[in-house]
Amino acid sequence: MIEVQAANGAAGDAGVEVVTVRSDALSVELLSLGAAIRDVQAPDAAGRPGPVHLRLDDVSEYLDRSRNPHLGASVGRYANRIAGATFSLDGRDVELVANNGVNQLHGGPDGFDRRVWDVLDAQGSDDGGTVVLRLMSADGDQGFPGQVVATATYELSGDTLTISYAATTDAPTVVNVTNHGYWNLDPAGDGSVPTVERHRLQLDAARYLPVDDAGIPPGGPVDVTGTPFDLRVGVELGPAMAAVGGGFDHCFEVAGPVLRSHVGTLARAAVLSSPDSGRWMTLHTNQIGVQCYTGNGLHDPFPVHGSVSLETQLFPDTPNRPELGSARLDPGQEYASVTVLRFGTGDAPS
C-alpha cells in the first residue's frame, strides 16, 4: 500500500511530498526533501509496532538545518569527507564548497540531502511497494563538475527495505551516495528516545580506516584484531563506544581486501540488535565501506548516542587517495549502490 501527499505548512510551500509505504511487517514514511527516510515502524518481540528510526515531530522541522542532521537522507554528491574541499581530476584542481572546517562533508552545505527530489513513481504491491525519486545536480553544483542525474529507489517487500542509488553524468566527476539512517530499535511510543548503549552491533569487517581529528584518513585501512574496532563477533555499544573515546565515526571495510569502484557483490555487512525491544536489523550492501556513526554529535530533541548510522559508501577522501579505490564516474557509465535492510525479532542472525 502506498500513499502520496503534499506536506503542510512551510514544508508544503517548499514542495515537499510525504510518501508512506506499508507491508504486513513494516510501515515506511519517506520525504521528497533529501529523498529521506522519516519513519520506520517495526514490531517488537511482543508484536507491538513502534518506531526504529529517529524522526522530528513536524515535517517542516526538516527544513531547519539546526534540527535536522541529515536525518535518514540521501547524502551526496559525495558522502563523507573530502580533504581540503578539493581534488584533482584529469590534471585540474576541482575546488569544492567547504562546510566542515576546510573540508567538505556530505556534498557541501547544499548537498543532495537539502534538495527537494521529484517523486517519479510510487507503485504499491501485494506486500509493500516501490518509490522512485530523482534529482538533477547541475555542473558546478557545490563545486563538482558535470551534470549528474541521480535516482533513489526505495522498495519495501514484507520485512525488507531495499535502498538503491543510481547516477549518470555528462562529464567526468566523482559520485558516492549513501543513506544516512539514524537507527534506534528502542524508542518508546511516547516519543522518548533512549541511548543505543544497550544495543549490540556486529560489523563483518576485518579492517577499518583510522582518521585524524577532522575525520580525514591519514593512511589506509588497518587490521581490527586486538583493537576496540573489532566488532566481528558483536559487542554491546556502551562499553565499545567508551573504549574508542566517546563513540564511533569511522569507516569499516566490509568488502574484503579487493577494492572496487562502484558496484560489487551484495554481502552482509552488519547486524544491529536490542535486548530490550527484541528487535534486530541486518544490513547487506554492494559497497566497500560502512561508516559507523553512533550519534556522538546529536543534540535536542535527541540524546547523544541516541542512534546508530550505518552508511554504506566508498571510503572518505577517495578522490584524493587512489590507493583507496576510485570514485570516478564518466559519461556512459552508471553509478550503482544497493543497501538491503531486513527487520525481525528474537535471536539476531549470527
CB-neighbour burial class of residue 93 (10 A; exposed 0-12, middle 13-18, buried 19+): exposed
Q: Which of 208, 205, 196, 177 is nearest to 272 (CA)?
A: 196
User: CA 313 → CA 32, 65, 129, 344, distances in Å?
Assistant: 21, 23, 25, 24
CA distance 118 to 18: 11
C-beta separation of 104 from 85 below 8 A? yes
The C-alpha angle 302, 308, 313, rounded to 5 degrees, equals 125
Return the active site residues.
180, 311
User: CA 112 → CA 58, 136, 150, 279, distances in Å?
Assistant: 21, 9, 9, 31
CB-based contacts of 16-22 (< 8 A; 24+ apart in sequence): 16/59, 16/62, 16/63, 16/116, 17/119, 18/59, 19/119, 19/122, 19/131, 21/122, 21/124, 21/128, 21/129, 21/131, 21/154, 21/156, 22/128, 22/129, 22/156
Cα torsion 232, 78, 100, 111: sign: negative
Give the dihedral of Cα atoms 316, 295, 187, 238; nearest 10 deg. Answer: 110
If you count them, how many residues does the chain have?
350
Half-sphere CA count of 23, side-chain side, radius 13 A: 21
Beta bridge partners of 274: none
